[in-house]
Amino acid sequence: MEYKFTPNDNYEDFASGRVLYHVGGAPTFPVRLTLEIYERCLQYSNKKTDISLYDCCCGGAYMLTILGLLKGNTISRLYGSDIDSGSIKLAKDNLSLLTTTGIQKRRDELTTLYDTYKKDSHSQALQSIDRIEKLLSKEINTSIFHQNILELSDLPFIPDIIITDVPYGNLVEWGDGNSDINQMMDAISKVCSPETIICVCMDKKQKIQTDTDIYQRLEKQSIGKRKFEIYKLK
């Protein structure tokens, strides 16, 4: 896949575990690819600003936080849900970095770590956090909640864009033991409007059924060990 919208910049300020919170074993997603996918979804969306963005398998909300920081001028609301309570706590911590209070708390934590261990990595993180703080331009409403996506039937909001990186491989399995991505797509279809743009990132083994009356596929891309597909309702 050729990147159309996102230059090959240095994104190390956003590396997981540096300023953004990370716990061992939690999967992350490449920053450049996250930005590219969002821009592609925005191109398909009739709405270009004031976006409500939802990640229905949000994990530690790494993707949502990156998008809030780097695409915040187009986003007004970030929603994330996950089946795992540990992920929900991590997601809330990460989304707190979109506020000056959250940034100050993280800066205090990193300063204490640096004073205690004098590690280069903590000093670099303190430099990164100063640059990240400058990206906070406007307030974005955030909401993280517990939800088994396979059982989703209603939401108190209508997402303009859904971007999600579904469970795959050995690192993260489907939380209810049933790995049917098509069950997730059915559930999502009930909470979207015809305007909602949906991007699902997955490994190459997973297959979304395209011969249904529900969705039209707008795009399919392969990149490294992953693929992503973009849909809207028919």
Ligand X SMILES: C[S@@+](CC[C@H](N)C(=O)[O-])C[C@H]1O[C@@H](n2cnc3c(N)ncnc32)[C@H](O)[C@@H]1O
Residues that bind ligand X (CB under 6 A): 27, 29, 55, 57-63, 82-84, 87, 148-150, 165, 167, 172, 174-176
Question: Which one, 63 or 200, has the nearer CB to ligand X?
Answer: 63
Determine the 3-state secondary structure of 160 from DSSP: coil
Q: Least CB distance from residue 114 to ligand X, whole Å?
A: 26
Q: Least CB distance from residue 165 to ligand X, whole Å?
A: 4
Q: Least CB distance from residue 126 to ligand X, whole Å?
A: 23
CA distances from 33 to 21, 38, 89, 112 (A): 19, 9, 24, 33
Q: Compute the distance between CA of residue 165 and CA of residue 150 in angstroms, rounded to an integer.
A: 14
What order of strands is seen across the sheet that includes strand 51-55? 141-146, 75-82, 51-55, 161-165, 197-203, 226-233, 215-223
Question: Which one, 15 or 126, has the nearer CB to ligand X?
Answer: 15
Q: Least CB distance from residue 222 to ligand X, whole Å?
A: 17
Q: Least CB distance from residue 120 to ligand X, whole Å?
A: 26
How many CB atoms neighbour CB 48 within 10 A?
10
Question: Which one, 17 or 234, has the nearer CB to ligand X?
Answer: 17
Listed in sequence order, the residues at least 6 apart from 38 whose beta carbon sits closer than 8 Å to its beta carbon are 53, 67, 71, 161, 163
Q: Which amino acid is at 43?
A: Q
Question: Which one, 11 or 114, has the nearer CB to ligand X?
Answer: 11
Question: Which one, 86 or 117, has the nearer CB to ligand X?
Answer: 86
Q: Which residue is nearest to ligand X (CB)?
A: 59
